[in-house]
Structure 1
Amino acid sequence: MKNALVYILLVATLLPSISPWGTIAYYHANKDYIARVLCQNRDKPMLHCDGQCYLAKRLKAQQDKQDKETTQRVQNSPVVQLFCQANLLFQFRQTWPVLDSVVFSAYRFPSYAAPVTGLFHPPQV
């Protein structure tokens, strides 16, 4: 049962990328019928179109349909914002008359200085 589910999901996932190959296989399987009935240039045999115009139109229509569906899917998809920039610097004033001109910060980030001489050196052989 699990194997069948895996194959069904695999085919469903790969179907959009395989569909042009299905159109090409259909063309090759029915090449004579397409050349006789559906070809635009069936009245002009010297062009040797053999239904390739029909195949090109079908592939173009399929690509346009896929592009339209993708555009609609992107436009209709909800936007989820995963990250937000936090304002880490909160400033407030004390109401004491002596400290009116002093601004306090809720967070202070100390500067970090890595030991440069210990990190960057050529490899020891």
Structure 2
Amino acid sequence: MRNAVIYLLLIATLMPSLSQWGVIAYYHANKDYIARVLCENRDRPQLHCDGSCYLAKRLKASQERQDKETTERVQNLPTIALFCNEVADFAFASAWPLVLTTGFPSYQAAATTAPLSELFRPPRV
């Protein structure tokens, strides 16, 4: 039972990409019928179309249908609005003070102040 569910989900996931392969397989399986009955250029055999016009139309229709379904799926996704009521005022000049000791700037480890030290904390174990 578990394997059946796995295969069912796998097939359902791959169906959009397999639809074009299905159109191509149908074309190759019924190439003679398509060339005789469904081809637009069946009256002009010198073009050697052999139903490729029908295949191109079906592939284009399949791609458009897939694009439409994807667009509808994306438009119907729920959106989560993230916002912040307060705007934090960061003072980068005071958060990263430089001390000149020997002519080269160095960071003071204890001088970091509120906004940055609250944001950049190590994870709790």
Q: TM-score, normalised by structure 2?
A: 0.68
1:84 and 2:68 correspond: no
Is the helix fraction higher in 1 or 2? 2
Unaligned runs of 5+ in 2: 99-105, 108-125
Q: What are the superposed Cα offsets for residues 11-66 of structure 1, whole Å, 9 maximum, x if unpaired?
A: 00001011100100000000000000000000000000000000000011111111
Runs (4 or more) in structure 1 with deviation over 4 Å come to 112-116
Query: 1:49/1:113 Cα in 2 relative to 1: closer, same or farther (>3 Å)?
Result: same
Matched with 2:58 is: 58
Give the CA deviation at 1:112.
4.3
RMSD, matched Cα: 2.5
Query: 1:80/1:89 Cα in 2 relative to 1: closer, same or farther (>3 Å)?
Result: closer
Secondary structure of 1:85's counterpart equals coil
Query: 1:36/1:111 Cα in 2 relative to 1: closer, same or farther (>3 Å)?
Result: same
Matched with 2:48 is: 48
Taking the aligned partners of 2:37 and 2:88, their CA distance within structure 1 comes to 75
Q: Which has the higher contact order (CA 8 A, sep 6+)?
A: 2
List aligned pairs for 1:5-84, cutoff 5 A.
Answer: 5-81=5-81, 83-84=82-83
Task: Calculate percent identity across the aligned residue pairs.
Answer: 62
Considering only CA atoms, is the larger Rg found in Structure 1 or Structure 2? 1
Give the CA deviation at 1:68.
1.4
Taking the aligned partners of 2:37 and 2:31, their CA distance within structure 1 comes to 10
Taking the aligned partners of 1:89 and 1:61, their CA distance within structure 2 comes to 52
Taking the aligned partners of 2:20 and 2:4, their CA distance within structure 1 comes to 25
Q: TM-score, normalised by structure 1?
A: 0.68
